Chain A
């Protein structure tokens, strides 16, 4: 059995170097050359400044923008580092509500959001994804229904025709891959950028 000790040390160190250093560093170098945009995080720049990533949701509160889903991410409390405070779309600390199907806290929170949205667009049914938090807290997408639901508010805030806003939503709706995989969705940041671009014309 003693002769198993040498490989237990040397083979471990060599395999560690191969799989833990050589492999990730080589992949970083190759990926940086072939797919530089994705490797850096699919960042979007405007006027030379990074305004976000096309894959990471961000918080929108203004009526003139489409809003994403509620987010359950948190950040350390500046006053007391042992506690956390709500910090929606904190892309440095992803996370979810983790509230279950019989949670009163969840039902109360959703009820509040549903009432707010009903006041905003009384005629339409509230889409489920617009009042539930995502798994990452960083969901960049909403369902097409959730985007269409917000059209009247956005059009009013911008003084644009509803038809024009609705057309932008349709243009930014991505279908299933090959008609099969995934779900239809609208990237909120891309849609809002298109709104701003359209408004400045």
Chain B
């Protein structure tokens, strides 16, 4: 580890925190339906959309209607992607003549993109036409992100409203999120990325003749416009197979730094939106502090492990950190930082191959996802995920002192705790359950690229990533098989919607409650005690759930590595 490395890490954190407040202010205005500086341009477009779509923006929805609207929207999104992939050979913008994508891979990819996972069983440049990249993937990058933000705002309204039956209008929230938040940032961001060297063209792949006379086919495409929303919306599905390690998908140290910022910026700002909507910004800062503690702990471990390198390489006389699977322009620190950020959020873009990380360096991304991606988390999804843990922590605190727990003026009762537990427990059911099936199913075992405990970690990582809607991978695992396409799709689906529905039910029940004023017996939820309590609950629940699985994978591999055992 170097001082310059830590300065980069701290600079990163400082900028994320500095942006949270202004962006939180802006987003609060957007979702409260107030006018913004972009309204003169966007308001007519917004009105037109409601008029054609038959949406009455004044009419609010019950939590159940809100959830059904969201689900219907996703059925449509699924059909669009699936159809485009199956028919891409017949459609325009296909200069490389990519043929129709197989049914199981199309199914997996469609589920993957509507759930904001963006797991890559497809190899972008070798499988997909430009039309599918734009109309299928870019569009769903926007809409799954806008949906996440809309749901988080609806959950916040559950806390901030009292004695009300409704929690907002899904169509209005998703439209405003897309038009006022995601699209304007992406327009500026795309141009920045092209300036840094990212291609943005509809032309065919370039045929080059190298200095030594060899032929090289260079894949290009409308990359920048997709990468902008891929990062900002914490989607993470790459234009290219190598994702953000590809020089065209992440050309410079600056593009890398800004991409890392864009993963966290909306998620961090959502904590401020929460604070503003419940009437006390310090409530938001406390949540951001919980995230910050867990984040820095993860960065420290991964950076330390990667900078230390592997004993197999040291035995060959190599010095320095673990460079296998990393790019020279990013080096150890920017690769380690990126890995922790992308898994803390539910982004899943990678600028270095997690499969080649050291055992402990690769364990932190795994833990980040297993904790439910609540460390800033996916846009929106991170906040409602964290609020589930907050409800649980408040409940535990209430048990300790023998009082009905309350949070931001709302009594936390049996229904809220049941819903929170349901949402939290369904995740390990998917990733532990399917991993257990896969490691005793011979065709699934054959997909592992590495032998020994590392192969087990590849499978565990795949289901964890899919369930957490992350999308990063220990990429050696051959995921494009019928078994993995279907089981991973089921993990992604359950991981997304079986968390959303209980969270929305909790929001609906909270919105209907009366607000109660804080009293001398209320646990203050803005201080260090509260932050420590939430961190503790997260780590205890997480630790009890997945520590045995980690012991079989990265932990035993770390011990083997130090004993110079190779597999």
Contacts A104-B566, A138-B246 given; does A27 touch B241 at CB 8 Å: no
Name which residue of chain B comes closest to A49, CB basis.
B209
B244-268: CB near A (< 8 Å → 1, else 0) gives: 0111100111101100000000000
B214-249: CB near A (< 8 Å → 1, else 0) gives: 101111101011100100000000001110011110
Which residues in window 101-132 of A have CB below 8 A to B?
101-104, 106-107, 110-111, 114, 125-126, 128-129, 131-132
Find B247's partner among A96, A138, A196 (CB 8 Å cutoff): A138
Find A50's partner among B209, B212, B324 (CB 8 Å cutoff): B209
- Contact A8 B325, beta carbon cutoff 8 Å: no
Q: State the total of A-B contacts with C-beta under 8 angstroms.
A: 384
Task: Check A59 for interface membership: any CB of B closer than 8 A.
Answer: yes
Which residues in window 435-487 of B have CB below 8 A to A?
449-454, 457, 474-476
Contacts A101-B310, A182-B252 given; does A7 touch B206 at CB 8 Å: no
Task: Check A61 for interface membership: any CB of B closer than 8 A.
Answer: yes
State in angstroms the CA–CA spacing of A129 and B454 once bound together: 23
Tell me which residues across on chain B come within 8 A of A192, comparing CB atoms: 211
- Contact A98 B356, beta carbon cutoff 8 Å: yes
Find A91's partner among B68, B123, B217, B251 (CB 8 Å cutoff): B217
- Contact A59 B72, beta carbon cutoff 8 Å: no
Task: Check B535 for interface membership: any CB of A closer than 8 A.
Answer: no
Q: Return B235 CB to nearest CB of chain A, in Å.
A: 12
Q: Return B30 CB to nearest CB of chain A, in Å.
A: 16
Name which residue of chain B comes closest to A140, CB basis.
B247
Find A59's partner among B199, B214, B474 (CB 8 Å cutoff): B214
Contacts A7-B55, A98-B356, A100-B557 given; does A51 touch B212 at CB 8 Å: no
Q: Return B320 CB to nearest CB of chain A, in Å.
A: 5
Find B175's partner among A15, A23, A27 (CB 8 Å cutoff): A15
Find B183's partner among A19, A58, A106, A134 (CB 8 Å cutoff): A19
B179-195: CB near A (< 8 Å → 1, else 0) gives: 00001001100110011
- Contact A15 B214, beta carbon cutoff 8 Å: no
Q: Return A57 CB to nearest CB of chain B, in Å.
A: 8
- Contact A134 B327, beta carbon cutoff 8 Å: yes
B133-153: CB near A (< 8 Å → 1, else 0) gives: 011101101110000000000
Tell me which residues across on chain B come within 8 A of A31, comparing CB atoms: 190-191, 194, 200, 224
Q: Return A132 CB to nearest CB of chain B, in Å.
A: 4
A35-61: CB near B (< 8 Å → 1, else 0) gives: 100111111000001111111111111
Find A181's partner among B242, B253, B475 (CB 8 Å cutoff): B253
Task: Check B171 for interface membership: any CB of A closer than 8 A.
Answer: yes
- Contact B139 A102, beta carbon cutoff 8 Å: no
Contacts A42-B197, A99-B449 given; does A51 touch B208 at CB 8 Å: yes
- Contact B49 A11, beta carbon cutoff 8 Å: yes
Name which residue of chain A comes closest to B358, CB basis.
A101
Q: Return B372 CB to nearest CB of chain A, in Å.
A: 25
State in angstroms the CA–CA spacing of A28 and B187 once bound together: 11
Q: Return B313 CB to nearest CB of chain A, in Å.
A: 7
Tell me which residues across on chain A come within 8 A of B326, comparing CB atoms: 132, 134-135
- Most A CB atoms within 10 A — which of B49, B322, B324? B324
- Contact B73 A53, beta carbon cutoff 8 Å: no
Tell me which residues across on chain B come within 8 A of A40, comparing CB atoms: 199, 201, 203, 206, 220
Task: Check B328 for interface membership: any CB of A closer than 8 A.
Answer: yes
Interface residue stretch chosen among B4-12, B292-300, B408-416, B420-428: B4-12
- Contact B353 A98, beta carbon cutoff 8 Å: yes
- Contact B135 A21, beta carbon cutoff 8 Å: yes
Contacts A24-B138, A185-B329 given; does A102 touch B123 at CB 8 Å: no
- Contact A1 B135, beta carbon cutoff 8 Å: no
Tell me which residues across on chain A come within 8 A of B200, comparing CB atoms: 27-28, 31-32, 38-39
Q: Return A115 CB to nearest CB of chain B, in Å.
A: 9
- Contact A96 B242, beta carbon cutoff 8 Å: yes
B319-335: CB near A (< 8 Å → 1, else 0) gives: 11111111111110011
Tell me which residues across on chain A come within 8 A of B450, comparing CB atoms: 98-100, 102-103
State in angstroms the CA–CA spacing of A140 and B327 once bound together: 9
Find B68's partner among A1, A56, A96, A104 (CB 8 Å cutoff): A1
State in angstroms the CA–CA spacing of A8 and B222 once bound together: 28
Q: Return A139 CB to nearest CB of chain B, in Å.
A: 5
A161-201: CB near B (< 8 Å → 1, else 0) gives: 00000000000000011001111010001001100100000
- Contact A102 B557, beta carbon cutoff 8 Å: yes
- Contact A7 B123, beta carbon cutoff 8 Å: no
Task: Check B316 for interface membership: any CB of A closer than 8 A.
Answer: yes
- Contact A52 B356, beta carbon cutoff 8 Å: no
A-B contact pairs, 9 of them (CB 8 A): A1-B68, A15-B143, A16-B139, A27-B222, A56-B218, A102-B565, A126-B318, A177-B254, A196-B211
With A24-B226, A41-B199 known, 13 other A-B pairs at CB within 8 A are A15-B49, A15-B174, A28-B200, A41-B201, A50-B207, A59-B214, A69-B328, A93-B219, A96-B475, A99-B450, A128-B319, A133-B325, A181-B253
